[in-house]
Structure 1
């Protein structure tokens, strides 16, 4: 994939044919047989049977069948560790089980969190599901012998946000075939440098560019959300989790059998109503695509959200978690399947993290999917962040706004206006064009137009930074030192930009106005709506919703 053109305002992206990208949405496959219980080609009806792994080998849909409960297992592992009690967890072998890696492999330094009025800061954790086949257990669960030992893909990625006041928790799921820019990443072990993609690439490729730290860097590049930790899970230790709590209740609105005449489907067969599922049946639920809603991966994600909410409810009831031997075995499996950043490299740290997560009541947990739209042409089998609505969801998380529509207990401090130290005519301002989005080219000439608007307001020392091509969701004014804050606020006030968009940054050498995607058109700046509402397209699902029930795809009943 690539983006051609010269740096600056006229840079234009281009994208590679989708056939050059991986497509892998299976969860479980019996390596020795193809049956309704072990076959799911993981494609939308009519999708081409092509794709690649990082080693260049083709992956046929029939053999790419693994979609583990990875993100489910990530959160479950936290809850299990938090509920297990310190007495069963401080064994040295549990610490040695845990694999560690660098938090971020990108060049861009993540911004510090903004504290609320009480001095509290939020907590963001990226949950990553790897399709690795690097152990006998993973190979048994994953099947597909031709991919044993091949570089993994980050096929499941979800951002867990715990509010600063610990009153609520939000989860954003990013579809694995989302097309976005991947920043420069450096493998910490081999020191290999992976250049930034010059155009769009599929998000699940990030894991193969040095490890989970590249997935973290990519999320930060796209969303601007500061990420504190990551947790990556593989196939190992997942199957036993549903059994350990005695099963998880799920609901379908009609009899369903996930099986096609070609032998595709997860093999899930359930009667209408609520059923408590565990073991292989739980795996089938979490991998079912054919049979749920419209038969797409987005429907499957919604089913996974239902399952996870139900599992959290069961875990918080303490169901079936009183047997010390079973609990120790489960903790051992969970830690062995886990890779974390170095800030979570001990059981004690994981336990402390779980204690923090448990502060958010189930009724304040909200599961969402990143608002998205299907691409066109070569990208018709891929999705892109939905303009406006994906940005709105990311902005709410950045601002620590609950996705369940309820106000946090603590309110943020309002920005305080400071007196400028120089007149507008004496204040240099650098203007950048950051109007490019994942689906739109930069708005041509925006930096020049805004520079002229500043001149009309008396800021005659404006200049254009044509070398900077980074995109920005929102228009901002940055300044490098506190003595420039009043002047930066004066620039914002002159253009009608809210003071909340004025930020201190060590990445600039002087007052810098970045024209964002919210100001692509000519005319005065109009601040985006302050409406604090989760977009309907995010399909928010509340953790306390015991009435959630999956719609059945026509033709998959029995």
Structure 2
């Protein structure tokens, strides 16, 4: 995985590294020789980061610190205007990589009627394992040189008008289609395959994970941020701790977390324990851990929004130093100024309009250890993000977008070549055989006699009509109108050479484009219950303790 920056040794006084903080992200087991924690104590042993690709360790290791430190870094950089000149020095700390390694890249999101554009950032956390100390403590010696996995994956969507933010987690063991990716560093080509989404990082780097998300969701990704460092500890200390809640006394021997029933303010190593815990929460799965992570993040944001002061310059500078050394970002986000501007952009979103959710899922029928997107519900969540609709259901009715007339009028139907492709296959559904031929025949009946099929495999959530240049937009609109497709289905794309119709998973049968499921219902503009959404202002949220972990 390419990194354009040179890493420098940690400066004196800077934030401690993961092994200094006791984060043993390798084993997810307590050291046999570690002290038994007392109620309210931390009890984490010291250890280094885990070796790459270890098999056999319990699921979900190393998740929260990656994504959380990423978002927190944005907040820090966004609030540190007074030290802006100092942060220019931090540019060299950042690692940079290519945004998308796939063959097919989605166009950027279209602006709204006011010319504002939504923003989609993929937050990644790798489980890179390279520490000899961790191998000594029980890591898989044979896997120490294996490529890292992206065990934390969250898409942060900021609305075009910056009025709301949606964060969608996808569990690491979700089985998806990983598209063909080409590593721009060494030229290695990784063919398309079906695997768990965390393994996409091994196919050339974070750019392949971005390509996988675009394939899965149909959402164009503008930037990615990947982190493998536990800077969250200093952040928690800097704001004086973060309030969390449990509905019973909890002790998780795996993470060392021990808390009494009710609200506690946690910081330092105890914050790490909260963020690592899964056995102690709900059913002991990674889904429960993600929920705890969402609660912690919301509480942290509320602390900052409420005016919590980061008053220790040395601690703040050390944290910024550590955060930038920890980050790998796409080349379009590769300067501290861009991170600073992004942080300011995110600050505009009120906490009451921040929604954190988990992709609706069901067990994988082919492998009990995996999950797949829940048919209907998962697509609804993705579709809401694609259409810049807030997950909290609080959006005001948007004015109809007025599109400009095409620069060139449509040619006669018989003179418009149309390529029709079958994109009905998804991670949860096999493609419908013959869809492209059926719709091409329908177009021919409607007068588009040059319609022809293309058997190139596709996977598309929404049916789209793409055109390569502005002079062909009128032709694309004519095709959409003939089939009853909405104007929003017509998109400019640099990846096509002519008018291209891709039949998506939203049109799996018939020749008449269907009305969206549930259209007109009262819950059309709100995330389904299966997304387990949590509002940023919900101070009453309290984690359910797994009965097996009550003390």
TM range (shorter): 0.7 to 0.9
Alignment partners' CA distance in 2, 1:386 and 1:279 = 37
The equivalent residue for 1:194 is 189
Alignment partners' CA distance in 2, 1:35 and 1:442 = 55
8 Å Cα contact 1:478/1:504 also seen in 2: yes
Alignment partners' CA distance in 1, 2:401 and 2:216 = 26
8 Å Cα contact 2:167/2:355 also seen in 1: yes
Q: Does 1:440 align with 2:398?
A: no
Shift of 1:78: 1.0
Listed one character per residue, the Cα deviations across residues 427-447 of structure 1 (whole Å, up to 9, x for unaligned) are 333221111111222111112
Alignment partners' CA distance in 2, 1:539 and 1:141 = 39
8 Å Cα contact 2:410/2:478 also seen in 1: no
The equivalent residue for 2:507 is 519
Q: 1:81 to 1:506 in 2, by over 3 A?
A: closer
Alignment partners' CA distance in 1, 2:27 and 2:350 = 30
Alignment partners' CA distance in 2, 1:140 and 1:357 = 39
Alignment partners' CA distance in 2, 1:421 and 1:132 = 53
Alignment partners' CA distance in 1, 2:176 and 2:59 = 26
Q: Which runs of 5+ in 1 are unaligned?
A: 1-23, 40-51, 260-264
The equivalent residue for 2:457 is 469
Select 2:118's aligned residue among 90, 103, 122.
122
- Aligned partner of residue 86 in structure 2, secondary structure: coil
Q: Does 1:248 align with 2:249?
A: no
Select 1:552's aligned residue among 536, 545, 548.
545
Q: Which runs of 5+ in 2 are unaligned?
A: 1-23, 37-42, 46-50
Shift of 1:547: 0.8
Q: Does 1:460 align with 2:449?
A: yes
Shift of 1:416: 5.8
Alignment partners' CA distance in 1, 2:473 and 2:60 = 54
Q: Does 1:533 align with 2:522?
A: no
Listed one character per residue, the Cα deviations across residues 125-180 of structure 1 (whole Å, up to 9, x for unaligned) are 111111223468x9599973735554221110111111111111111111111111
Pairs within 5 Å for 1:291-370: 291-319=280-308, 321-370=310-359
Select 1:102's aligned residue among 98, 114, 128.
98
The equivalent residue for 1:162 is 158
Alignment partners' CA distance in 1, 2:461 and 2:290 = 26
Q: 1:142 to 1:192 in 2, by over 3 A?
A: farther
Q: 1:124 to 1:67 in 2, by over 3 A?
A: closer
Shift of 1:375: 0.3
Q: 1:288 to 1:27 in 2, by over 3 A?
A: farther
Q: Does 1:221 align with 2:215?
A: yes
- Aligned partner of residue 117 in structure 1, secondary structure: coil
The equivalent residue for 2:171 is 175
Shift of 1:241: 2.1
Q: Which moved more, 1:383-392 or 1:24-33?
A: 24-33
Q: 1:320 to 1:504 in 2, by over 3 A?
A: closer
- Aligned partner of residue 122 in structure 2, secondary structure: strand
Shift of 1:487: 3.2
8 Å Cα contact 1:305/1:541 also seen in 2: yes
Alignment partners' CA distance in 2, 1:221 and 1:532 = 23
Alignment partners' CA distance in 2, 1:229 and 1:327 = 25
Q: Does 1:144 align with 2:112?
A: no
Alignment partners' CA distance in 1, 2:263 and 2:550 = 16
Select 2:77's aligned residue among 45, 62, 81.
81
8 Å Cα contact 1:66/1:142 also seen in 2: no
Alignment partners' CA distance in 1, 2:137 and 2:378 = 32
What do you get for the CA RMSD once the two structures are aligned? 3.0
Q: Does 1:489 align with 2:453?
A: no
Alignment partners' CA distance in 2, 1:331 and 1:108 = 35
- Aligned partner of residue 380 in structure 1, secondary structure: strand
8 Å Cα contact 1:94/1:347 also seen in 2: yes
Select 1:479's aligned residue among 467, 472, 476.
467
Q: What is the TM-score when the length of structure 1 is the normalising length?
A: 0.84
Q: 1:345 to 1:513 in 2, by over 3 A?
A: closer
8 Å Cα contact 2:239/2:310 also seen in 1: yes
8 Å Cα contact 1:89/1:331 also seen in 2: no
8 Å Cα contact 1:367/1:541 also seen in 2: yes
Alignment partners' CA distance in 2, 1:413 and 1:141 = 61
Q: Does 1:230 align with 2:224?
A: yes
Q: 1:35 to 1:395 in 2, by over 3 A?
A: farther
Alignment partners' CA distance in 2, 1:64 and 1:401 = 30
Alignment partners' CA distance in 1, 2:140 and 2:59 = 8
8 Å Cα contact 1:38/1:267 also seen in 2: yes
8 Å Cα contact 1:25/1:155 also seen in 2: no
